[in-house]
Every structure is written in C-alpha cells, then in structure tokens.
Amino acid sequence: MKSDVTARIISSILVVVAYWVTMYYNLKCGAIIYLIANSLALPYMIKQKCWDVVALLTFLIIIGLPKIIL
C-alpha cells in the first residue's frame, strides 16, 4: 500500500478520534488531532486532483488554527 493511501486511512480514523476528543475530553487536543488528520489527507487528495476536497480541507485547517493558537 502506498504511503499516501496509508496516510488517508489514518486520517479518516483520526477524524473520528478528534471528534470524540473534542466532545468528551478537550477542545484544544481535539483541534490538534483534527489538524493532523486533515494534513495527512491533503497529499492524497492533491495527487488524485480532488481540488474541491483540497479547498475544503485547507479551509478547515485555517479555521481550526485559532483553536490551537489561542
């Protein structure tokens, strides 16, 4: 299995983990995990030329950054 496919699978799992962490544990930790998950999915989506998903993930990363910084 190629590394970008593995990263996409891990990303999908991390999105679910991030949601759970955000809801039941800590907003900042959940946002960090969510940022990592979205960043892992980007290379695969760029390679597959899924530009709408790339734009969406980039937007979600940008709006999640203040939760980590502040």
Range of the domain at 50: 3-69
Taking only the tens place, the pLDDT of each residue in 34-63 is 999 999 999 999 999 999 999 999 999 999
Q: What is the CA 21 to chain-centroid distance, rounded? A: 14
Q: Does residue 1 carry a pLDDT above 80?
A: no
Task: Specify the number of domains making up the chain.
Answer: 1
Mean pLDDT of the chain: 93
Taking only the tens place, the pLDDT of each residue in 22-42 is 999 999 999 999 999 999 999
What tokens appear for 59 in the block? Answer: 């937007």
Beta carbons within 8 Å of 64's beta carbon, 6+ residues apart = 31, 34, 35, 38
C-alpha span between 70 and 53 (Å, rounded) = 26
C-alpha span between 24 and 56 (Å, rounded) = 25
Beta carbons within 8 Å of 25's beta carbon, 6+ residues apart = none
